[in-house]
């Protein structure tokens, strides 16, 4: 009881609800000695986020075609900017858990009708109070008939969105989806005031002061932000610094406080700088080499298996990611995610088995693998390493270096075997529906008609509606096994997000892994030490 | 007609023809690039329907020659058109005027080019004249060797070396030149110090060596020997007698380098994160934002034509035989 009280008081001091004097008085009253109480106060205050300062962020993305409409957000600059200016119904917190953002709570009894209860009294930057109508308008913008939002496909299963009083929104889905609260956390679907989806007015921690697409975004703190324990900087200045060397120079010279996408080859040197910290998270992002089953010879199970066994995954992690990543097991669910099938055996490099399957496939001659660094940095090198390891199994892979320009329109999802990256998705269902089910256009393996694929598609639909956690786990484990063994997905590695941070800036120590730089919410969560 | 006026008119007429040719070439080259704006913007997420929606909205479904003539008609009316970005994305039209997009970037580029020119042109002339004056001395040789060294390195290398010594090891100058319209002049000058230094090192050799060569070339002429025989000092001979006749080739080289400062400094812009027009054009090419690419190309072509024209005019004005033809 006493400990709990002290803990509570310490939390209050950390949050700034009470001052140091009040804290001391209250804990001394519990009979704690003075030195002990002083120690507690110091500890609580050290962890306390401090308000103030201008946070300068050097971002390795950004383009003159960027807009403030989150529906077209497609790079990390616009992603961070969206989180700066606006909120979503739910969000993934630093601990990786899904929590309400603008929604105070959400519930469903059948996974088909979802009720989201909004926080009361939330204000937009222009002073307007948030109501259910704004949410409805935002969802119309992203999911309506005429929508050009990238989230349109994601919301296709939404039958209707209705308000129920000023602070409740009710979603009716076509089919049950237990993961729907995750869907609404998608960064595209930010909530903006009715009638103004694109000017950058939102409820977010910072309000736009100066916005120059592809150059910078400068924002001032939103004084009426509805989260009292967030948004610690007075001002945020994001600069787009596309050149890696320029970005690393900027953080080394103190011209920015955080620089993302550091060069893995020099990160060890960067870490030696006395003023810098290197942060690293293993997320859901992964590199793949999809084989299309509608292109010969990849329609042959044994050939696919031979190629999967002919790849030395650890070598790729060591040489392409320089150790900053994890080996993949030919399915897209990372070991840090819920429902990861830990019971599946890790696929190892096995030239003998690969040669066995290759012989069984009856294929002869070279197999073409298209790669370009547009797919991911080091994709061509990775393809060469795969060709070398496959050669030991007697398989001849011919690496074709494709142009970066137009890679996504002309090579990926068209040629039989190519390199690709996926940022990953927060839930298995979302990941499967993005790239593996029969109805998605991004099914880059064209894995649709084999017996295993048919079974997989049935299981995904079943899992979506299943509210029983144990049963869902079983379903998803089986889905992962089906992709791993029968699918055309060759997934050798998951990459880490690595960025450099000035020691002047600090965070809670817990970093969200769903996106680079603390779930792309660094400006909301970090503070000056 | 006066020769200066006729040259100007003739060159402007030719310039217009050049502009037309440049715009056709640029337009065709962009057509030849794989992928269009819709596919590039949507990237991995491009589906048939969304790309088709983009094309329809941007008018990309029309045949290329119609789009080209639409654009030319707009330019003749002084309208560079609307950027593709922002237009197709939202329900309402939030795309920006190309002129509005290029305007601030062009100002930045001209500012950087102007400051660099203010420093490098006089410096190059002084060095060129003084090395001609003391040719084959140790001074001449060391200046020549130094400028040849700096021009021989690629500009990004010069930039990184300067950053290493002036901003990483000794934190004297900022390595980020991210200025905007609100940056006060003194801070702006400080921020562009390193880019200006880099560009000066890169362009000075060309101008300085041309000045030196042009003057030395003239020193062998009979009228210079006459001047020497009449007892003029070396300085007098060079400044008074040689230099006036050397302006034409020097002006040509200076014009060439100034044009380079406007159209060719994208590498320096990237290294120092300077929001200039080169970066804008590269961005526009990668996203196939044709109106912006056309706008930039037009400005670049105009820059070349005008600077070359002024070099020619200087050549005529400084040559009495051309200025007062029989």
pLDDT tens for A184-209 read: 999 999 999 998 988 899 999 999 99
Residue pair B194/B162 in contact by the 8 Å Cβ criterion: yes
The answer, yes or no, to whether residue B41 has pLDDT greater than 80, is no
Q: How far is B115 from chain A (nearest CA, A)?
A: 22
Residue pair B301/B19 in contact by the 8 Å Cβ criterion: yes
Question: Could you give the C-alpha distances from A46 to A51, A247, A402, A525, B46, in angstroms and in order?
Answer: 13, 30, 52, 16, 48
User: Is any Cβ of chain A less than 8 angstroms from the Cβ of B170?
Assistant: no
CA distance B291 to B284: 9
CB contact under 8 A, B53 and A210: no
Residue A505 in 3-state DSSP? strand
Mean pLDDT of B268-276: 89
State the CB neighbour count (10 A cutoff) for residue A166: 12
CB contact under 8 A, B94 and A254: no
Q: How far is A7 from chain B (nearest CA, A)?
A: 45
What pTM did the predictor assign? 0.79
CA distance B144 to A157: 72
DSSP single-letter state for residue B81: -
Residue pair B166/B198 in contact by the 8 Å Cβ criterion: no
Mean pLDDT of B130-155: 91
* Interface A-B: count of C-beta contacts within 8 A: 142
Residue A135 in 3-state DSSP? helix
B295: which 2 tokens?
């706008």
| Confidence bin at B266 (pLDDT 50/70/90) | confident
State the CB neighbour count (10 A cutoff) for residue B140: 17
Residue B33 in 3-state DSSP? coil
Residue pair A488/A290 in contact by the 8 Å Cβ criterion: yes
Angle at B249 between CA B244 and CA B251, to 5 degrees: 80
CB contact under 8 A, B176 and A406: no
The answer, yes or no, to whether residue B224 has pLDDT greater than 70, is yes
Q: Is the pLDDT higher at B27 or at A119? A: A119
Q: How far is B168 from chain A (nearest CA, A)?
A: 5
Residues of B within 8 A of A242 (CB-CB) are 270
Residue B35: which of A150, A243, A406 has the nearest Cβ? A406
Residue pair B147/B205 in contact by the 8 Å Cβ criterion: yes
CB contact under 8 A, A405 and B273: no
State the CB neighbour count (10 A cutoff) for residue B148: 12
Residues of A within 8 A of B40 (CB-CB) are 406, 409
Residues of A within 8 A of B44 (CB-CB) are 408, 412, 420, 442
CB contact under 8 A, B44 and A72: no
Question: What is the per-residue pLDDT for B60?
Answer: 79
Residue pair A474/A291 in contact by the 8 Å Cβ criterion: no
| B 273-302: CB under 8 A from A | 273, 275, 279-280, 283-284, 286-287, 289, 292
Residue pair A69/B89 in contact by the 8 Å Cβ criterion: yes
CB contact under 8 A, A69 and B90: yes
A90 φ/ψ angles, rounded to the nearest 5 degrees:
-130, 170
Mean pLDDT of B71-90: 73
Domains of chain B: 3-76 (no CATH), 99-323 (1.10.3720.10)
Give the number of C-alpha atoms closer than 13 A to the C-alpha of residue A136, restricted to the C-beta side: 15
* pLDDT mean across residues, chain B: 85
Nearest Cα to B53, choosing from A69, A148, A65, A145? A148
Residue A91 in 3-state DSSP? strand
CA distance B115 to A112: 65
Kindly tell me the number of DSSP H helices and DSSP E strands found in chain B: 16, 0
Phi-psi group of B291: left, alpha or beta (phi > 0 → left; psi -120 to 50 → alpha; rest → beta): alpha
Question: What is the per-residue pLDDT for B89?
Answer: 42
Closest Cα in chain B to A238: B178
Question: Could you give the C-alpha distances from B275 to A63, A142, A512, B17, B279, in angstroms and in order?
Answer: 12, 32, 32, 31, 7
What confidence tens digit (pLDDT) does each residue in B49-79 have?
777 777 777 777 788 888 888 888 888 888 8
What confidence tens digit (pLDDT) does each residue in A123-146 have?
999 999 999 999 999 999 998 887
Interface test with A, best of B91, B92, B272 (most A CBs within 10 A): B91
| Confidence bin at A462 (pLDDT 50/70/90) | very high
Q: Is A44 exposed, middle or buried (0-12, 13-18, 19+ CB in 10 A)?
A: buried
Long-range contacts of B249-253 (CB under 8 A, 24+ apart): B249/B210, B249/B214, B250/B125, B250/B128, B250/B207, B250/B210, B250/B211, B250/B214, B251/B310, B251/B311, B251/B314, B251/B315, B251/B318, B252/B308, B252/B311, B252/B315, B253/B206, B253/B207, B253/B210, B253/B211
CA distance A371 to A380: 5
* pLDDT mean across residues, chain A: 89
Residue pair A124/A205 in contact by the 8 Å Cβ criterion: no
Helix, strand, coil shares of chain B, percent, nearest 5, are 75, 0, 20
Question: What is the per-residue pLDDT for A48?
Answer: 78
Question: What is the per-residue pLDDT for A518?
Answer: 92
């Amino acid at each position: 009881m006493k400990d709990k009280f002290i803990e509570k008081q310490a939390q209050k001091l950390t949050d700034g609800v009470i001052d140091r004097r009040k804290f001391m008085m209250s804990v001394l009253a519990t009979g704690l000695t003075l030195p002990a109480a002083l120690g507690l106060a110091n500890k609580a205050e050290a962890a306390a986020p401090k308000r103030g300062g201008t946070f300068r962020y050097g971002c390795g993305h950004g383009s003159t075609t960027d807009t403030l409409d989150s529906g077209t957000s497609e790079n990390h600059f616009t992603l961070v900017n969206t989180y700066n200016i606006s909120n979503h119904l739910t969000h993934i917190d630093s601990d990786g858990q899904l929590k309400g953002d603008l929604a105070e709570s959400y519930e469903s009894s059948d996974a088909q009708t979802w009720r989201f209860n909004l926080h009361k009294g939330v204000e937009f930057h222009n002073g307007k109070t948030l109501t259910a109508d704004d949410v409805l308008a935002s969802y119309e913008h992203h999911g309506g008939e005429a929508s050009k939002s990238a989230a349109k496909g994601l919301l296709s299963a939404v039958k209707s969105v209705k308000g129920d009083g000023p602070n409740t929104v009710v979603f009716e889905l076509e089919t049950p989806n237990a993961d729907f609260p995750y869907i609404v956390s998608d960064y595209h679907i930010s909530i903006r005031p009715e009638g103004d989806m694109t000017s950058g007015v939102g409820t977010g921690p910072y309000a736009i002061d100066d916005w120059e697409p592809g150059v910078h975004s400068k924002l001032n703190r939103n004084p009426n932000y509805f989260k009292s324990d967030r948004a610690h900087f007075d001002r945020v200045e994001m600069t787009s610094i596309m050149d890696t060397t320029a970005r690393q120079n900027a953080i080394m010279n103190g011209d920015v406080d955080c620089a993302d996408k550091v060069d893995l080859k020099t990160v060890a040197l960067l870490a030696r700088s006395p003023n810098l910290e290197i942060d690293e998270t293993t997320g859901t992002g992964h590199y793949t080499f999809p084989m299309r089953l509608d292109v010969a010879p990849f329609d042959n199970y044994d050939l696919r298996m031979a190629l999967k066994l002919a790849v030395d995954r650890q070598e790729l992690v060591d040489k392409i990611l320089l150790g900053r990543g994890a080996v993949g097991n030919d399915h897209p669910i990372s070991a840090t995610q819920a429902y990861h099938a830990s019971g599946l055996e890790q696929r190892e490099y096995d030239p003998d088995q690969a040669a066995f399957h290759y012989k069984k496939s009856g294929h002869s001659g070279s197999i073409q693998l298209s790669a370009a660094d547009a797919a991911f940095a080091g994709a061509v090198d990775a393809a060469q390493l795969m060709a070398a390891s496959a050669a030991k199994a007697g398989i001849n892979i011919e690496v074709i270096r494709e142009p970066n320009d137009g890679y996504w329109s002309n090579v990926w999802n068209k040629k039989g075997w190519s390199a690709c990256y996926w940022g990953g998705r927060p839930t298995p269902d979302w990941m499967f529906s993005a790239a593996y089910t029969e109805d998605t256009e991004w099914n880059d393996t064209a894995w649709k008609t084999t017996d295993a694929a048919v079974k997989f598609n049935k299981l995904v639909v079943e899992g979506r509606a299943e509210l029983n956690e144990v049963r869902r786990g079983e379903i998803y484990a089986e889905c992962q096994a089906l992709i791993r063994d029968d699918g055309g997905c060759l997934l050798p590695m998951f990459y880490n997000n690595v960025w450099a941070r000035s020691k002047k800036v600090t965070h809670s120590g817990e970093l969200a892994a769903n996106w680079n730089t603390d779930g792309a919410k660094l400006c909301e969560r970090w503070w000056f030490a | 007609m006066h020769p200066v006026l006729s040259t100007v008119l003739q060159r402007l007429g030719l310039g217009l023809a050049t502009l037309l040719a440049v715009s056709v070439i640029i337009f065709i080259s962009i057509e030849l690039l794989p992928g269009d704006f819709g596919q590039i913007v949507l990237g991995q997420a491009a589906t048939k329907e969304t790309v088709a929606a983009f094309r329809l909205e941007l008018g990309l479904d029309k045949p290329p020659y119609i789009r080209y003539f639409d654009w030319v008609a707009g330019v003749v009316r002084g309208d560079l058109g609307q950027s593709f970005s922002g237009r197709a994305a939202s329900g309402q039209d939030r795309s920006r005027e190309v002129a509005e997009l290029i305007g601030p970037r062009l100002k930045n580029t001209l500012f950087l080019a102007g400051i660099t020119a203010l420093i490098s042109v006089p410096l190059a002339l002084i060095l060129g004249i003084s090395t001609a004056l003391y040719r084959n001395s140790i001074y001449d040789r060391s200046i020549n060797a130094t400028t040849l060294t700096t021009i021989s390195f690629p500009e990004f290398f010069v930039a990184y070396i300067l950053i290493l010594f002036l901003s990483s090891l000794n934190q004297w100058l900022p390595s980020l030149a991210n200025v905007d319209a609100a940056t006060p002049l003194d801070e702006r000058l400080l921020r562009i110090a390193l880019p200006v230094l880099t560009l000066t090192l890169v362009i000075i050799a060309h101008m300085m060596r041309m000045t030196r060569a042009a003057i030395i070339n003239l020193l062998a002429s009979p009228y210079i020997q006459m001047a020497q025989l009449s007892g003029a000092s070396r300085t007098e001979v060079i400044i008074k007698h040689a230099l006036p006749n050397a302006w034409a080739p020097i002006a040509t080289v200076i014009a060439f380098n100034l044009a380079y400062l406007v159209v060719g400094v994208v590498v320096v812009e990237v290294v120092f994160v300077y929001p200039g027009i080169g970066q804008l054009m590269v961005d526009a090419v990668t996203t196939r934002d044709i109106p912006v690419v056309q706008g930039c190309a037009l400005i670049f072509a105009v820059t070349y034509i005008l600077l070359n024209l002024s070099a020619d005019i200087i050549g005529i004005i400084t040559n009495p035989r051309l200025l007062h033809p029989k």
